[in-house]
């Protein structure tokens, strides 16, 4: 979800050669039951030509919620939220056709702000109030029940930007108490990153009301890394940080943390391999611990072809990873 995501825009044209099974088509209207958009919602990136058809993938996998990515500022130096899409103008409402299809198929969405690349709102909005207003525009535009802040690179490394995000999320929670807020952060090989620890501490000190802290336990090892074991160890570190900061029990802390993996071969130069068997182990462990969120990057690459933005790089059937995620109930 990091370097590969930064390069996705340049790879988008390559997706045009994929088969129609990857494309979005209109779906029939369906009654949308209450769907938790946080608990098991994989990432779906709109910057690619190849996108799954929700009318097919929802009944085939059992996964009804999707994390639509990414919202960033339209231009550097502005606080103007927009979403990158492969076709059509990059407007805030650019994801609406896909979101409407997902909801028509009985599903729901959480929108993700940030990612590895782009003009981050946390860096470009100069005050917490302005940043909260930008987040509010996203919530209102899509009538969201949840918002994911994927805070990476300089947005989390720069203290002022990091703390601005936390302060803005507190404002959002005060204005929208029913909207769940999720913060997604990068991992490190041997310890929870200091910037992640700092964000958690600030969230507790300011009573920001963040519902789930999620870790991306990949892009840290190599091809021989046991990704199931590494994921468990990494998330346990996050759990301990949240437990200590908020004074929680182990069970309470596990329910306040989550994980977002990457299916198949991860980003160069790491090239870790999250096999389908490893993913099953990860999801089973998450179920045992009742994590607050399980996700992966991405549905766009949940296909068994060469590793890249639209393929996992390992032998698999279409949507195998999404199907496993569909068994997760929190």
Name the residues annotated as catalytic.
152
Using alpha carbons, select from 330, 323, 275 the residue that is nearest to residue 299.
323
Whose tokens are 């409402």? That residue is: 93
Q: Nearest-CA neighbor of 310 among 91, 63, 5? A: 5
Q: Are 26 and 97 in contact (CB under 8 A)?
A: no
Nearest to 232 by CA among 262, 255, 199, 261: 261
DSSP state string for 243-265:
HHHHT--HHHHHHTEEEEEE-EE
Give 36's strand partners: none
- ω into 223 cis (within 30 of 0): no
Query: How far is it, in rounded angstroms, from Cα 78 to Cα 123?
Result: 9
Virtual CA dihedral for 39, 43, 44, 45, nearest 10 degrees? 150
Alpha helices in the chain (DSSP H): 3-6, 8-11, 54-61, 96-104, 121-124, 128-142, 154-157, 159-175, 194-205, 227-246, 250-255, 276-289, 320-325
**3-class SS of residue 294:** strand
């Amino acid at each position: 979800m990091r370097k590969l995501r930064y390069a996705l825009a340049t790879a988008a044209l390559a997706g045009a050669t994929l088969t129609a099974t990857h494309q979005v088509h209109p779906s029939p209207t369906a009654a949308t039951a209450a769907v938790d958009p946080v608990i098991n919602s994989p990432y779906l990136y709109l910057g690619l030509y190849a996108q799954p058809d929700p009318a097919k993938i929802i009944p085939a996998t059992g996964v009804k919620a999707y994390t639509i990515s990414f919202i960033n500022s339209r231009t550097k130096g502005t606080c103007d939220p927009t979403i990158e899409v492969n076709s059509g103008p990059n407007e805030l409402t650019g994801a609406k056709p896909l979101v409407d299809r997902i909801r028509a198929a009985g599903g729901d969405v959480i929108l993700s702000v940030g990612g590895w690349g782009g003009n981050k709102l946390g860096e470009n909005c100069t005050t917490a109030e302005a940043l909260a207003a930008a987040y509010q525009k996203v919530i209102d535009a899509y009538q969201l029940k949840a918002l994911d802040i994927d805070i990476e690179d300089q947005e989390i490394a720069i203290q002022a930007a990091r703390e601005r995000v936390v302060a803005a999320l507190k404002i959002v929670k005060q204005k929208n108490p029913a909207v769940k807020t999720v913060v997604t952060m990068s991992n490190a090989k041997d310890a929870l990153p200091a910037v992640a620890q700092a964000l958690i501490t600030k969230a507790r000190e300011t009573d920001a009301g963040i519902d789930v802290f999620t870790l991306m336990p990949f892009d840290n090892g190599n091809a021989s890394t046991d990704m199931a074991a590494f994921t468990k160890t990494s998330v346990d570190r996050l759990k301990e940080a949240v437990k200590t900061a908020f004074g929680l029990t182990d069970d309470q802390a596990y329910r306040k943390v989550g994980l977002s993996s990457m299916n198949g071969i991860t980003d160069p130069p790491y090239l870790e391999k999250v096999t389908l068997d490893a993913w099953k182990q990860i999801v089973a462990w998450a179920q045992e611990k009742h994590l607050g969120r399980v996700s992966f990057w991405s549905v766009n690459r949940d296909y068994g072809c060469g590793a890249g933005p639209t393929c996992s790089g390992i032998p698999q059937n279409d949507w195998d990873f999404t199907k496993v995620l569909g068994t997760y109930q929190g």
